[in-house]
Chains A and B, each alone.
Chain A
Amino acid sequence: MLKKTENISQRIMLPNRLKQGGLKRDGFIYEMKKNYPLYIFLIPMFVFFIIFDYLPIFGMVIAFKRMDYSLGILGSPWAGFENFKYLFKTPDVWVITRNTVLYNVAFILTSFFFAVVFAVFLNEVKSSLTKKFYQGVLFIPHFLSWVIMGYLVYVFLSPQYGFINKGILTTFGLKEIEWYSSPQFWPFILVFVNLWKGLGYSTIVYLAAIAGIDQELYEAAVIDGAGKFKQTIHITLPCIKPAIVIQLIMAIGSLFSTDFGLFYYVTRNVPTLYPTTQVMGLYTYRALREMGDVGMASAAAFYQSIVGFILVVVANQIVRKIDSELSLY
C-alpha cells in the first residue's frame, strides 16, 4: 500500500520537475533523456545499415561516372549516360532481363504450388513422428550452400562420370548428353534444383499458416458431412489464402533480384550456357570482377536496383490495398 502511494506521488511529481527544466513531455530531448540507453543500444545497428545499405544507395551515382580508382568515387569525372548507352547497345540486356524475370516467375510459381500441396498433405500425416521425419528430410537441402549444390548436380550431370549419362542413358542404349554445353536443358534443371533446395523451407511457411486455422471450422464441416477433399477446398485453402496472396504479391517485388549462386555454381559458370543461364546479378559480377569493367557493371547494377525499387513500391501499393497492416510502409 505504501509503495503504491509512493509510485503515484512520483508520477505526479515527474511532469512538474520536468516543467521546471523547460522540457515538453513529447519533445525530442525529453525522449532522449528518458530512453538514451536504449538509443545507444541501437547505434551499432544504425552504423551497420548506414555503411552497408544507405551509403551504397548514394553510391549508385557511380553509374553516371567514369570510375577511376586512383581518383576515388567522388573524384572520378562525370560520364552522363555513357555507361547506359554502352550497356543498352549490347544484346545482353534483353537476355538477362528476360532470363531474370522468367526464372523468378518459374521459381515463385513452382515453389508456391508444391509448397501448398506438400503442406496440405503433410498436415494429413497422422503420426507426428513420421511427419517430423518427412519434414526433416525435406528440409536438409536448405542447409547446404550453392557451392555444394553445384557438386551434387555435377554428380548427376557430369558428361564423363555423371549418373544420368553413365548410369541411365548408356544402360538403356541412349546417346549421352553433353549437359554442360547444351543450354536448352538448363531452364528445367535450374528450376528443379531451386525447388529441390527450397521446398522444405516454403512448406514450413504454409504449414504454419495451416496450423493457425481454427479447428472448430473443421469440426463444423465434419458435422455437415464434408470429407477431407471438401474440407481442403472450402476451409484450408480459403483460410490460408491471405498468406498465399501476400506471399505472391511480395514476390513481385523480387522479380528483378537474383540469388546468383544458383546460376554461378550449379552451371559451373560455363560460358556456353550463358544464353539461358545469364541473369542480372551474375552479369554484374562478371563485368565487375572478371572483366573489370566498372562502368558497365555499375550501369547494370543501377538498372537492376531502380527497376527492383519500382517493383517493390508497386507490390507494396497492392498489398496496402488488400491489407494495410501487412504493407511495408
Chain B
Amino acid sequence: MMKIIGKSRLKINELSLMSVTAIHTLFIVTCVLCLVPFLFVVSASFSMEEDLIKYGFSLIPKNFTLEAYRILIGSSGNELIRAYLTTIFVTVTGTVMSLFILSTAAYALSRDLKYKSQISFFIYFAMRFSGGMVAWYLVCTQILHIQDTIWALIVPSLVSTWNIIILRTFIKLSVPMEIIESVKMDGGSEWIIYLKFILPLSKPGLATVALFVSLRYWNDWYLPMMLINRADIINLQYYMQRIMASIQMLVELSQREMAVSELANVKTPTESVRMAICLAAMGPMLLAAPFFQKYFIKGITVGSVKG
C-alpha cells in the first residue's frame, strides 16, 4: 500500500514527457536566439567583402579570408590599440578607486552608527532622484572642468548606491561582529580592522562588486559621448560608435551603389573590418562571461533580496 502511494506521489510531482520536451525546446530555441547574432559577426569578419555585398551577412563565410584582420592590424590598428589601452586603463584605475571608496563606505555602513538611517536616506535619495543630464553636464564641465581629460571617463561613475548596498550586505554576512569587537578590545584601530579583517574576509563580495564596476567601465559609452571631444582619449565603445557613424555618413552622402564601389578606394573600414572590430571589442567580455557568471548571479541575488 505504502509503495503505491509513494509511486503515485512521485508521478504527480513529475512533468509529463511532453512538458519536459516543451520546456527544453523553449530554452534551446532561446539559447540559439542568444548565440546566433555572434556567429553572424564572427562569420562576417572572416568573409570576403565581395561576398557580403552579393549575399549579405551569413552564418558561414562563403570564402574564408583573414583580409579584415590584416586591414585592422595595418591601417586602423593604431587607433584601435589606443582605444583598447584607454579602455583597459580606465577599467583598471576606475575599478581600484571605486572599490576603495565603496568598501570603506560599505564597512562603515555595516556598523551600528547613530546616524545610519540618515546616511542611508542620503544615498537612497541620490539613487532615485537626479538633477538631470544638463545640470550634471554643467557640473562636470563648468565646475570640475574634467571634460576632455582621462578623468572624465573615470570619476563620474566611481560610486553607485546599488554597489554600496550589495557590498554592505556581503560584509554583514561574512564578517562576524565578534572579530571586530575583539580587535577593538586589543586596541586595534578601525583602519587596521578594515585592512586586516574586512578586506580579506569579504573577498567574494569585493570580487562580485569589482566585476559589476569593471563591466560598467568596459562597456561605457555614456561618458565619452558626453564629455570627450578629442579623438585621442576615446575608449573602445566610442571608437566603435565612430566607425559605425563614419560609414553611415558615407552611405547617406552618395548613392548606395556608388558608396559600395567607393568603399574600396576611401580608407574607411569595410563591413568585414567593422565586424572584426566588433568582435575584438566584445571578445574579452564573451570569453570572460562564463567565469564571471557565478559571481554575477550571487551579486544580483543579494541585491534583489536586500535592495
Please give the residue numbers on chain A whose beta carbons come within 8 Å of chain B beta carbons, in ascending order.
Answer: 7, 26, 31, 35, 37-39, 41-42, 44-46, 48-49, 51-60, 62-63, 67, 69, 72-73, 118, 121-122, 124-125, 130, 133-141, 143-148, 150-152, 154-156, 158, 160-163, 165-167, 196, 199-201, 204-205, 208-209, 212, 218, 222-223, 225-228, 243, 253, 261, 265, 268-269, 281, 284-285, 288-289, 294, 297-298, 301-302, 304-305, 308-309, 312, 328-329
Please report the C-alpha to C-alpha distance between residue A156 and residue B23 in the assembled complex, in whole angstroms.
27
- Whether B134 and A35, one on each chain, are in contact in the complex, defined by CB atoms closer than 8 angstroms, is no
Residues in chain A near residue B24, CB distance under 8 A: 125, 130
CB distance from A181 to the nearest CB of B (A): 11
**From residue B205, how far is it (CB to closest CB) to chain A in Å?**
16
Residue of B15, B57, B219, B290 near A163 (CB, 8 A) is B57
Residues B19 and A208 in contact, CB atoms below 8 Å apart: no
Using a CB–CB cutoff of 8 Å, the interface residues on chain B facing chain A are: 9, 12-15, 19, 23-24, 26-27, 30-31, 33-35, 37-38, 40-41, 44, 52-53, 55-58, 100-102, 104-105, 107-109, 111, 113-115, 119, 121-126, 128-139, 142-144, 156, 158-159, 164, 185, 189-191, 194, 215, 218-222, 225-226, 237-238, 240-241, 244-245, 248, 256, 260, 271, 274-275, 278, 281-282, 285-286, 289-290, 292-293, 296-297, 300-301, 304-305
Q: Could you tell me the distance in whole angstroms from the C-beta of A315 to the nearest C-beta in chain B?
A: 9
A160-B53 contact, Cβ under 8 Å, with A62-B135, A204-B301, A328-B124: yes
* B130 in complex: contacting residue of A31, A199, A305, CB < 8 Å: A305
With most chain A CB atoms within 10 A of its CB, the pick from B31, B56, B240 is B56
> What are some 23 contacts across the A-B interface (CB < 8 A)?
A31-B115, A38-B108, A38-B113, A56-B130, A56-B136, A57-B129, A62-B135, A118-B30, A136-B293, A147-B219, A147-B240, A151-B274, A152-B37, A152-B41, A161-B52, A201-B300, A204-B301, A222-B12, A227-B13, A228-B19, A285-B225, A288-B137, A289-B225
Contacts of A301 in B (CB 8 A): 131-135
CB contact under 8 A between A156 and B12, given known A125-B27, A163-B56, A167-B58: no
Q: Are A305 and B132 in contact (CB under 8 A)?
A: yes
Question: Does A144 lie within 8 Å of B114, measured CB to CB?
Answer: no
Q: Give the chain B neighbours of A223 by CB distance below 8 A.
A: 9
The residue on B at minimum CB distance from A133 is B31
- Complex: A63 Cα to B132 Cα, angstroms: 11
How many cross-chain pairs have Cβ atoms below 8 Å apart between A and B?
286
Chain A CB within 10 Å, residue with most, of B57, B122, B219, B256: B57
Q: How far is the CA of A243 from the CA of B306 in the complex (A)?
A: 12
Complex Cα spacing A110 to B185, Å: 55
**Interface residues of chain B: helix, strand, loop or mixed (majority):** helix
B237 touches A160 (CB 8 A): no
Q: A38-B113, A45-B159, A261-B222 are in contact. Are A312 and B12 (CB under 8 A)?
A: no
Query: In the bound complex, what is the Cα–Cα distance between A160 and B261 (angstroms)?
Result: 13
A305 contacts B129, C-beta separation under 8 Å:
yes
Contacts of B143 in A (CB 8 A): 55, 73
